[in-house]
Chain A
Amino acid sequence: MSQIFPKSANAWARFSLFGLLLLIALGGWSILLLQRSDFVTAARAHVQQPIQFSHLHHVGGEGFDCRYCHTSVEESAFANVPSTKICMNCHSQIWLESPYLEPVRESFKTGQSLEWIRVHDLPDFVYFNHSIHVNKGVGCETCHGRVDQMPAMQQVASLQMEWCLDCHRNPEQYLRPRAQVTAMGYVPEGDQLEIGRRLKQEYKVLDAQTLTSCSTCHR
């Protein structure tokens, strides 16, 4: 009887055994990577806003404090998207003829709000409150990134639950003094973990068990 398979079939069989294992491992690995990719989380995606507003110019260039526009960040769950009148504080005096600002003037005249597109959009089953974070020493930059370097606002973090839990389990990694909350490019004076532990105590940040309880965020 003639041979069914050529001699090389042995090598192919061995190769395919390991190849299959490798393929399964790679497949699993790439699914885990894909789940965390910007493609899925929408991080670093470009969002088209009604106005070409630049945080780079206003925060980085002019040195505005975050709270000048996001007025309720220290007292409310919502940080606040500024009203047209806040824009007009300056823009009734400068850049009066700029075509970029036409929608702002239009909004001011008609009283119709500008419709900004929310960049950091958490799922509806998550309860999030800005004021508690800001008051416990979580910097704006910690979650929103270097806003002062962003011509157009982008989401930098994944906003996935593991990202939230990273801090809720060990807040001392990120806490900073309240006075520095809105600072961009903050560098801790000394060991972050040491400072973090001290601030955690000083600001009465709750223990990890409470912070990671289901109903802390899912109410």
Chain B
Amino acid sequence: MLEKAKHADPPETRFIAPGHTFGSVTEKISSAVLTKRTPVSWFIGFAVGFALLQALALGVTWILVRGVGLWGLNQPVGWGFAIINFVWWIGIGHAGTLISAILLLLNQKWRMSISRAAEAMTIFAVMCAAMFPLFHTGRPWLAAYWLLPYPNTMSLWPNFRSPLVWDVFAVSTYFTVSLVFWYTGLIPDLASLRDRAKHRLLQIAYGVLSLGWRGSARDWQRYELASLLLAGLSTPLVLSVHTVVSFDFATSLIPGWHATIFPPYFVAGAIYAGFAMVLTLMIPLRRIYGFEDFVTMRHLENMAKVMLATGLIVFYGYQMEAFFAWYSANPYEWFMMKNRWTGPYAYLYWTLIFCNGVAPQALWFKKIRTTPLLLFGICMFVNVGMWIERFIIVPTSLSRDFMPSSWGIYHGTRWDWMVFVGTMGLFLTCFYLFIRVLPMLSIFEVRTLSTSAVAKEESGHA
């Protein structure tokens, strides 16, 4: 049967390496969790992440004690690292939702190998993003009545006309739906772990988490229905969340922010950044855990193509910003653009153009798309470039106010950097814990891509 199957599945329908059975897929992925021997690299990575997490703890504690003045914010730049980092992190999350929702609805089977890790990335990235709006309020314990509509003792509602309030709804909805979607997808795999676990405590832990999953036809029918519904719910979120984030800027009157191109350009940038981050995570992961059979060259190449496409949209956005500034004949807009090119932050602007516009052009070449190390390098350029993009948007416009008398300059202080690097620690810590205790690829979905599944389908049709 297997011999026949090897011939029976032509390369274009094959998403994982040939020769895998249901058993070998389950064994390979679940053993990374159930093994007693944690790889040394895990301890190193976790230690680095956990050490950086302490920077977050320290930074946040000191900011709560001394106030947000520790951040380099002052007139005229009242928005700095906090919003830059918020937008950067929230954008990264978008790839996970695109992979799990839109690609599911489009029946793109290759998503199955990467969806789990990408969704986990989404959740952790949104958690990191949430740190910034939360702590920039200075007194986050009061943020509930500033932002959430509930029957408070002042009988007042938040200002629903403010995009910052829309942000709260967009991001909290996004987090909730992503978490529920991720957990729903985990249930069959948690049941697999429950059944394979040897230790009593593990059996109970995974047993409770798998919510009594039995793998019956009824269970599967409900599962399929639930994940389709959740995919339907998540799909608009891929577009809406970053659109609302872009409204934070676009509804204002600041030159360089007040642009109708912002929503599509932000969404494309988010998917661009997100796929770069998925590749940044998956390239080392598949190597360390030996998942090259499941996350194949084909996956890397597909993701690289998505990056190239969204990267071109983003680059087009940069060019259109410049074009509109000139074509509008608005002196403030045109000054803003010239200031980006030659002003105090010009070195960052040109780094941005190189990182996000020029470097990814290498992805036109198949050789580069299929060489993991080179692809990893390009992704690093994009990760950095997308952060610089938000930096260019925020302080470049704010530091050159309408009146030259109120011009200023902005740089992040060491507390800005500490909290930013700290959120990377939070992300790494969460991600390392995730790959240690949960199956980092979706066992049951990868099983459907295996040779024995293809053979079964073939024989069923025959």
User: Which residues of A are interface residues toward B (Cβ below 8 A)?
Assistant: 1, 4-5, 9-10, 13, 32, 35-36, 158, 160-162, 165-166
Contact B153 A4 (CB under 8 A): no
Interface segment, one of B104-112, B204-212, B344-352, B370-378: B204-212
A sample of 27 cross-chain residue pairs with beta-carbon separation below 8 angstroms, ordered by A number, consists of: A1-B195, A4-B194, A4-B203, A4-B204, A4-B207, A5-B204, A5-B207, A9-B212, A10-B212, A13-B211, A13-B212, A35-B152, A36-B153, A158-B153, A160-B153, A160-B154, A161-B153, A161-B154, A161-B155, A161-B156, A162-B152, A162-B153, A162-B154, A162-B155, A165-B154, A165-B155, A166-B155
Residue from A1, A5, A9, A166 having most chain B Cβ neighbours under 10 A: A5
**Closest B residue, CB atoms, query A10:** B212
Give Cα distance in the complex from A10 to B212, angstroms. 8
Across-interface contacts of A9 in B (CB, < 8 A): 212
Q: Which residues does chain B contribute within 8 Å of A158, judged by CB atoms?
A: 153
Does B10 belong to the interface (CB within 8 Å)?
no
Asked if B204 contacts A32 (CB within 8 A), the reply is no
B23 contact set on A, CB distance < 8 A: none
Distance in angstroms between the alpha carbons of A1 and B203 in the assembled complex = 12
Q: Closest residue to A16 on the B side, CB-wise?
A: B208
**Which residues of chain B are near A36, meaning CB under 8 Å?**
153
Q: Which 3 A-B pairs have the closest CB atoms?
A: A162-B155, A161-B154, A160-B153
CB neighbours of A162 from chain B (8 A): 152-155
- Closest chain B residue, CB of each to CB of A9: B212
CA distance A47 to B207 in the complex (A): 57
The distance in angstroms between the C-alpha atoms of A160 and B156, with both chains bound, is 12
* Cα distance A162–B195 in the bound complex, in angstroms: 56
Contacts of A4 in B (CB 8 A): 194, 203-204, 207
Helix, strand, loop or mixed for chain A's interface? helix
In the assembled complex, B404 has its CB within 8 A of some CB on chain A: no
- Binary A-proximity of B141-171 (CB < 8 A = 1, otherwise 0): 0000000001111111000000000000000
- With A4-B194, A10-B212, A13-B212 as known contacts, state yes or no: A35 contacts B203, CB within 8 Å: no
A161 CA to B152 CA, complexed, in Å: 9
Chain B contact residues, majority secondary structure: loop
A114 to chain B, nearest CB (A): 33
Sample of 17 more A-B contacts, CB < 8 Å, known A4-B207, A36-B153, A162-B155: A1-B195, A4-B194, A4-B204, A5-B204, A5-B207, A9-B212, A10-B212, A13-B212, A32-B150, A35-B152, A35-B153, A158-B153, A160-B153, A162-B152, A162-B154, A165-B154, A166-B155
Q: Which residues of B contact A166 (CB under 8 A)?
A: 155
Question: How distant is A21 from chain B, measured CB to nearest CB, in Å?
Answer: 14
Q: Chain B contacts of A160 at CB under 8 A? A: 153-154
A161 to B209 CA separation, bound complex (whole angstroms): 45
CA distance A165 to B150 in the complex (A): 16
Question: Nearest chain A CB to B196's CB is how many angstroms away?
Answer: 10
Q: Give bound CA distance, A10 to B213, whole Å.
A: 11
Instruction: With both chains docked as a complex, state the minimum distance between the C-beta of B130 and any C-beta of chain A, in angstroms.
Output: 20
Give chain B residues whose Cβ lies under 8 Å from the Cβ of A1: 195
* Centre residue among B153, B156, B207 by max chain A CB count within 10 A: B153
Interface string of B56-83 (1 = CB under 8 A from A): 0000000000000000000000000000
With CB as the reference atom, state the residue of chain B lying closest to A161.
Answer: B154
Cα(A160)–Cα(B204), bound, Å = 49
Chain A residues within an 8 Å CB radius of B212:
9-10, 13
Candidate in B195, B204, B212 with the most chain A CB atoms within 10 angstroms: B212
- For residue B150, which residues in chain A have a CB less than 8 angstroms away from its CB? 32
Considering the complex, give the chain B residue whose CB is closest to the CB of A158.
B153
Residues of chain B contacted by A13 (CB below 8 angstroms): 211-212
Cα–Cα, bound, A143→B187 (Å): 58
| Contact in complex: B151, A32 (CB < 8 Å) | yes
Query: What is the minimal beta-carbon distance from A2 to any residue of chain B, in angstroms?
Result: 10
Interchain nearest-CB distance for B183 vs A (Å) = 14
In the complex, which residues of chain A have a beta carbon less than 8 angstroms from the beta carbon of B155?
161-162, 165-166
Note all chain A residues with C-beta closer than 8 A to B152: 35, 162
- B149 to chain A minimum Cβ distance, whole angstroms, is 13
| Min CB–CB distance A106 → chain B (angstroms) | 42
Q: Within the assembled complex, what's the spacing in Å between the Cα atoms of A4 and B154?
A: 51
A4–B151 Cα gap in the complex (Å)? 45
Complex-state Cα separation, A166 to B195, whole angstroms: 60
Give the docked Cα–Cα distance between A35 and B155 (Å): 13
Set of chain A residues within 8 Å of B156, measured between Cβ atoms: 161
Kindly provide the distance from the CB of A162 to the nearest chain B CB, expressed in whole angstroms: 4
Q: How distant is the Cα of A5 from the Cα of B204 in the complex, in angstroms? A: 8
Query: Closest CB of chain A to B278's CB: distance in Å?
Result: 33
Cα–Cα, bound, A160→B154 (Å): 7
State A4–B197 Cα separation when bound (angstroms): 11
Chain A nearest CB from B184 CB (Å) reads: 15
Least Cβ distance of B148 to chain A in Å? Answer: 11
B155 nearest in chain A by CB position = A162
A166 to B156, CA, bound (A): 12
CA distance A161 to B156 in the complex (A): 9
Cα A165 to Cα B154 in complex, Å, equals 8
Question: Whole-angstrom distance between the alpha carbons of A165 and B151 in the complex?
Answer: 13
- B residues near A165, Cβ cutoff 8 Å: 154-155
Closest A residue, CB atoms, query B156: A161
Residues of A within 8 A of B194 (CB): 4
Complex Cα distance, B151 from A36, in Å, reads 11
Nearest residue, chain A, Cβ from B197:
A4
